[in-house]
Chain A
Amino acid sequence: MNVYDYMLLDCFQNMNGARSAQGLFHIVSGKRTAQSLADAQLFNIGKYYGVLTNFNKERFDEITGVLESENWIEEQSPGTYYCTADGKDILKEVSFPFLDHLAGLAHWSYEKSFWLTLALYVQSLSNVLNNHSRFLPVVSDARAAAAVKAVFPRDSASRKMASERLHKEFEHLFEMYRDDRAASLFLQRLTRHERIGSTFEQLAGLYSVPEPEARMLFRSMLHYILSCIKENPAAYPELSKLLPTGEAVSLTISARATYKLLAEGQTLEEIERNRRLKKSTLEDHLVEIARSVPDFDISPYITESERQLISRICSKLKDKRLKAIKDEASSLSYLKIRLAIAKEGWG
């Protein structure tokens, strides 16, 4: 079984038929809905959230088909599967230890921008240190370029110091990670002076692993690095300066614009009118902001007693679908429920 089979089977086992395969597809492909985010956490498969962003539904269905033909999962009602005894056995037999480092739900909002910034920063630093200032950037993303420009050391002495620090930080992380192959593969994906990084297909060839495994080895390391520098930024000054500044940056561009106007004191009605947004879109923004910006105050939209009510319902209910909560608290709007959930971090 390859690593993708293992991951999805693991998910099916954890969900135990409580959600459809379609719902699982939304989770692993990283769909940004309150439902997907909440489910990922609820079923303890948060580490897989958004890890298969390169998947389309066909690819997903293909793997589900493989799992079914091996009798590892069985359809209990149309579109819903549970993990069979055979499936549980094979999950015990096979192991991909590196998957333990995955943390999709924790890092999804900034991992891509962090990676692009890191790739461009390392390429720039490595080339400039070798007196090679005209090189072809492997990242064309404008935001990553701006981020690198903002933190790039100005003179050669500070460049040298920055690269030595970065070297030390990587060294420390890789030593703790205890997988020399994964460390080497991660560096091989990066571009340095006189060596452009490798595609996943090339990495698979270089390290004699299937391509899915090359992708997951890389992704696990990236998440590990993010977990470490998030937990202790002071220990990794060089790497953590490449994180997007301010949590608001992790918002989608459109939600960020809403956030900015809210901060300037505009009302929801004004924003709706001025930005020509649908009401539902604006509500999605609010929920996204509540989830991503820790000090965002939701008290204008929901009272303290309403929040407590939702909190009580959630701790009581096994089924944390919005619909189920709404049934228990019919007087509250969906927006209030979603805001409370986002703020409490259940989602």
Chain B
Amino acid sequence: MVNLEKELQRHFGFDSFRHGQKEIICDVLNGQDVLAVLPTGTGKSICYQLSGVMLNKPVVIVSPLLSLMEDQTEQLKRMGFKRTVAFNSSLLYEEKREQMDRLATSQFIFVSPEMLQNKSLILSLKKADVGLFAVDEAHCVSQWGHEFRPHYLSLAEIRREIGNPPCLALTATAGKKVQDDIVKYLCLKEPSKHIGTMNRSNIALVAETAATLDEKQERLQDLIMMLKGPGIIYTSTRNMAEWVCHAAKEAGKKRTAFYHGGMEHHDRMLVQKQFLEGQLDLICCTNAFGMGINKSDVRYVIHYQLPSSIEAYVQEIGRAGRDGMPAVAILLYHPLDEEIPFHFIEMELPDPLRLPAIFGGCTTKDEMKERIEGAFLAETAARFLEFYIERDEALKSKGLSGDFFTRLSSRIESRKKYKHEQFRKLINWIRLHSCKRTALLNLFDEAGVMQDDRCCGSCGISLSSYAGQEEAEADASLLDWREELRLMLL
């Protein structure tokens, strides 16, 4: 039996496994299908990374997010795994072809679910003798997950086509229903299940309801000045992220910056690194911030506006206290805040009433794709339509039937209804007077845990224990260019 710890140290530089990792890797190496639910920040990726090294065969990793894929690829290459490739929509034809030629000698193959539908890629994978089929964010396969991604539904078939390698399904958040869906739709055979607890005992949970929006704003100002960073404030919109940042700076919290998807790439990188390097105490951001960012000493996360789902909430507060030290998550709520998430849920899927107008008179697949592009739908909505059109092969006969629209409409409606119900659960949880921790775990079908100390707002908690002065700021006065140049290069 190989010494996995030794291999872990040799290839990745870690001294020991975190909870659950070793067991998962052992099952994978035994050729079993595995379902792993590991909360954010507990090292999901090491599971397929080390497995891949040990198997000494190519590993396919299905990943739904371009940015996540880029982070992972870059990270692996930096660690010396040069034979890492990524297939996503940003590739040019030549690059794709070149990578495809090298597939059999590749070690880690990242691929988006949409790209994986490509027939010639499937063929190349079939020849490459893939040793493991890892599915990241596996909850995307379920209609009952918070981020349903229709193309995940075809993964089981693709896996079969490329020679049925063992499957490792990974996710950070999945209740019982979603777990069952993952097993069912990814066709996992007698999978070994590793379900980690969602409970992060060092993060205290607080939700406060404000009587007015003004009151909420004042409360935020107080919290910002009182709490000791590093901290993160999440907002729903880009404008709000900027606004909160300016307010914090005005109030004297100078080392604050904002971050959102509307900024140019280089500026986003700079803010990210400033935060990681400890040059910022506070970051005000939309949910674009946090993916793939590993900062262990975040002491508080404030939600100034509502997240779009319970799962998103859990993921976002999970960025606090990764070092195991006490941290606090505070959600500030006012009923009017519900509007924006409702709007997002509506935008996420196409409006059924628009379907006939979008597709009327269409006969070919290319035409349909053009129509979808021209309809200015949200990315998720466009993907949804593309998948079902592809799958129903509605065009095989004579254009789209009314029947097809009816089926699609009811799919959309039921998905929206589900998301609204889930969102309601979040609101109910916020308003709840009993133990927040227990209630949150129950939402993920876990038994509740009441902690004696620093549990939640309902059990009683003193926020003053998270208070403190930021460390003295370095003198922010600008240097003369000669002095700056000397510091930089001499």
Contacts and interface: CB of A to CB of B under 8 A. Distances in A.
Contacts of B489: 122, 125-126, 129, 163-164, 166-167, 170, 192
Given A196-B274, A199-B263, A257-B94, A138 B488 contact: no
A136 B277 contact: yes
Interface stretch (A31-39, A96-104, A201-209, A303-311): A201-209
B357 interface: no
B214 interface: no
A279 interface: no
Interface string A117-140: 001001001100100000010111
Nearest to A125: B489
B484 interface: yes
B93 interface: yes
Contacts of B279: 195-196
Given A196-B279, A275-B93, A184 B480 contact: yes
Contact of B273 (A166, A196, A253): A196
A330 interface: no
A170 B485 contact: yes
B269 A139 contact: yes
Interface string B272-287: 0110110100000000
A276 interface: yes
Interface in B254-309: 257-258, 263-264, 266-267, 269-271, 273-274, 276-277, 279
Contacts of A201: 258, 267
Interface residues of B, number: 33
Given A136-B276, A136-B277, A199-B271, A163 B490 contact: yes
B487 interface: yes
Given A199-B263, A254-B94, A126 B270 contact: no
Interface string A213-248: 000000000000000000000000000000000000
Classify the secondary structure of B's interface with A.
Answer: helix
Nearest to A170: B485
A192 B270 contact: no
A167 B490 contact: yes
Nearest to A184: B481
A253 B486 CA distance: 37
A125 B487 CA distance: 12
Interface in A157-178: 163-164, 166-167, 170-171, 174
A116 B269 CA distance: 12
A267 B251 CA distance: 67
A140 B90 CA distance: 15
A191 interface: yes
B270 A198 contact: yes
B70 A140 contact: yes
A276 B277 CA distance: 47
A192 B488 contact: yes
A7 interface: no
Contact of A200 (B267, B476, B486): B267
A264 interface: no
B273 A54 contact: no
A180 interface: yes
A190 interface: yes
Contacts of B338: none
A206 B486 CA distance: 20
A207 B489 CA distance: 23
Given A54-B264, A191-B273, A184 B488 contact: no
Given A164-B489, A253-B92, A136 B273 contact: yes
A210 to B, nearest CB: 15
Contact of B478 (A116, A125, A206): A206
Interface in B232-262: 257-258
Contacts of B264: 54
B269 A187 contact: no
Contacts of B484: 184, 187-188
A55 to B, nearest CB: 11
B74 interface: yes
B479 A184 contact: yes
A30 to B, nearest CB: 14
Given A125-B489, A199-B263, A200-B267, A188 B273 contact: no
A40 B489 CA distance: 38
Interface in B451-484: 476, 478-482, 484
A184 B70 CA distance: 33
Given A140-B70, A184-B480, A184-B481, A196 B490 contact: no
A54, A138, A166, A187 interface centre (most CB from chain B within 10 Å)? A187
Given A116-B266, A184-B480, A187-B484, 5 more contacts: A136-B273, A187-B481, A201-B258, A206-B478, A254-B93
Interface of B: 70, 74, 92-95, 257-258, 263-264, 266-267, 269-271, 273-274, 276-277, 279, 476, 478-482, 484-490
Interface of A: 54, 116, 119, 122, 125-126, 129, 136, 138-140, 163-164, 166-167, 170-171, 174, 180, 183-184, 187-188, 190-193, 195-202, 206-207, 253-254, 257, 275-276
* 3 closest residue pairs by CB, A with B: A199-B267, A183-B481, A192-B488
28 contacts: A122-B489, A126-B489, A129-B489, A136-B277, A138-B270, A138-B273, A140-B70, A140-B74, A163-B489, A163-B490, A164-B490, A167-B489, A167-B490, A171-B482, A174-B485, A184-B478, A184-B484, A187-B485, A188-B478, A190-B488, A191-B270, A192-B489, A196-B273, A196-B277, A200-B267, A201-B267, A253-B92, A253-B94
